[in-house]
Amino acid sequence: MPDDSPQIYLITPPAPDMDSFPQALARVLDSHPVACLRLALATRDEDTILRCADALREIAHARDIPLVIADHVLMVERLGLDGVHLSDTTKPLRKLRTEMGADAIIGSYCGNSRHDGISAGEAGADYVSFGPVGKTALGDGQAAPHELFEWWSAMIELPVVAEGALNRDLVAALAPVTDFFAFGEEIWTQADPVAALRELIQPLR
């Protein structure tokens, strides 16, 4: 892909089958350049998270890809991960940045709120993500509009991630105004995740 194209950011399934998912993930990482991987599990079972994180950290770090975990701040250091992705904008991000240090990755999901994105950046986030960008029945159904990304790319230097219900047309439309595309269920629910991702990012080539 061209050097100025948005980078790929992957999100794990909420309940991956650990008998098959590590192999599927490795195939995707070996087929496409990936900038970051987010461990985003639905479970709060500590042992399950530990086992999954151990397996995926090995796969990601072997390929020099950082692995961040969604929300579980205390597990970052314990599991040897690279940072945290916050899905709750009420978290004390400024305090968290002080505690985790400058080298840790801290991302913040900001829905469709320009204000939350600016606040996260001022508090020390390394990136913000807006979404969902496509139509979905999940959450309140409100999408992050193209105009939000357009404004952000023109006014703010902090990297921005587009995520949620992505398709090929949205990738083509948002490519000029986003830094990353975060793909999760869009590829993992398909029989061939490698082919699914290849199709989604075709407009970037």
> Any idea how long the chain is?
205
Does residue 2 form part of some domain? no
Residue 111 contacts residue 130 (beta carbons within 8 Å): yes
pLDDT tens-digit readout, 150-188: 999 999 999 999 999 999 999 999 999 999 999 999 999
* 85, 88, 92, 97 alpha-carbon torsion, rounded to 10°: 10
pLDDT tens-digit readout, 72-128: 999 999 999 999 999 988 889 999 999 999 999 999 999 999 999 999 999 999 999
Does residue 182 form part of some domain? yes
Structural domains counted in the chain = 1
Give the span between the Cα atoms of 42 and 15, in whole angstroms: 6
Domain that holds residue 126: 7-204
Residues 6+ apart with CB under 8 A from 157: none
Alpha carbon separation from 33 to 5, 92, 176 (Å, rounded) = 12, 32, 19
127 forms beta bridges with 107
Does residue 13 form part of some domain? yes
How far does Cα 106 stand from its chain's mean position?
11
Alpha carbon separation from 119 to 14, 132, 135, 151 (Å, rounded) = 28, 19, 26, 16
Q: How many helices (H) and strands (E) does the chain have?
A: 9, 8
Give the span between the Cα atoms of 138 and 133, in whole angstroms: 12
3 pLDDT higher than 70: no
Does residue 120 form part of some domain? yes
pLDDT level of residue 1 (50, 70, 90 thresholds):
low
Does residue 173 form part of some domain? yes
Give the span between the Cα atoms of 141 and 148, in whole angstroms: 16
Q: Is the overall model pTM greater than 0.85, yes or no?
A: yes
* pLDDT computed for residue 2 by the predictor: 60
Whose structure tokens read 């913040």?
108
CATH code, domain carrying 22: 3.20.20.70
Residue 198 contacts residue 30 (beta carbons within 8 Å): no
Closest C-alpha to 96, from 131, 130, 71: 71
Does residue 174 form part of some domain? yes
Does residue 72 form part of some domain? yes
